[in-house]
Amino acid sequence: MSAAYPALRLRRTRAHAWSRRLHAETVLTPADLIWPLFIVEGEGVEEPIASLPGVSRWSIDGIVARAKEARELGIPCVALFPNTPRELRTDDGREALNPGNLICRAIRALKDAVPDVGVLTDVALDPYTTHGHDGLVDAQGYVLNDATAEVLVGQALTQAEAGADIIAPSDMMDGRVGLIRDALEGAGRHNVQIMAYAAKYASGFYGPFRDAVGSRGLLKGDKRTYQMDPANAEEALREVAADLAEGADSVMVKPGLPYLDIILRVKSEFQVPVFAYQVSGEYAMIEAAAAAGAGDRDQLVLETLLAFKRAGCSGVLTYHAAHAARLLGG
């Protein structure tokens, strides 16, 4: 027979702060965080993003400063997202293949200045296209899978040659992970990791991100023919299995909090490194709640990040990374 009250008092271990720390089942540290950063052309530029209070676009010198800050705080990796000038956006997104484009220049600057901070780069065409889609579209507006995947391979190689440590395909095209892995191996880039956006849902939480990369208003139609239906869970497991079989080193679930069940199932099923992206809409809701006095910002930040760890995440991409690291004593 199991112990019963009063022999068992579960509150005993909660009575003191030291004891709560001692008995904590889940631990969150700055090393669990990846800091997404938005890049803009220029020098000495900081552009606050209205829909993401506290987040800015930075010119490359500012991105380098943020990476140095990440190193000081114990954050091991930053993720880069470019705001490509409108005049460089085309229907075919060819600026993604330019070795002198904004993100490649930022990668090289970071690896020169802060080589011990990891650099994760997004592979998709939406920051480079006039139509806002992640790939090439036909006359009916349908995103072409195989033709897009060929361009993504070139984009991944371009970023790897610039010095990217982790290639993160976010496009959700079928088969692109295997093609990118083969290309990286063929180019001798054996140690470049692939973090696949394996379960990326067609979500309503992405709006502020589109402001940040300058694609708000460009998107023609929606992304439901390639991003996942929020109703589906079993399909997420199939997506993850496919990406792992094709050579992904880790997988991502995006968004985060609305999909904690998917994170838990992926971790339980595959026992591989799983990451979550606490996306722009999630960040904005926390900031709005704190501004309205509906919750304590610091507590909300740490509690949500701890939830990802408890569900099985190895790490979290979050715009709160620097703030959380300071709270954690980084």
Active site annotation includes 223: no
Active site annotation includes 200: yes
Is the preceding omega at residue 36 within 30 degrees of 0, hence cis? no
Tell me which of 223, 254, 267, 309 is the catalytic residue. Answer: 254
- 3-class state of residue 225 by DSSP: coil
End-to-end CA distance of the chain: 45
Annotated binding site for Mg(2+): 239
Residue length, the chain? Answer: 330
Q: Are 136 and 148 in contact (CB under 8 A)?
A: yes
Give the residue from 280, 274, 283 showing the smallest Cα distance to 301: 283
**For the chain, how long is the longest CA-to-CA vector?**
73
Residue appearing with tokens 């999909």: 259
Q: List the Cα angle 162/272/235 in 5-degree steps.
A: 95
Tell me which of 111, 200, 223, 267 is the catalytic residue. Answer: 200
d(C-alpha 91, C-alpha 128), whole Å: 8
Helix intervals (H) in the chain: 17-22, 60-73, 102-113, 145-162, 176-186, 207-212, 234-245, 260-270, 280-291, 297-311, 321-327
Residue 56: other Cβ atoms inside 10 A: 16
Residue 147: other Cβ atoms inside 10 A: 15
Q: What is the full DSSP assignment across 36-50?
A: EEEE-SSSS-EEE-T
Annotated binding site: 239
By annotation, the residues acting in catalysis are 200, 254
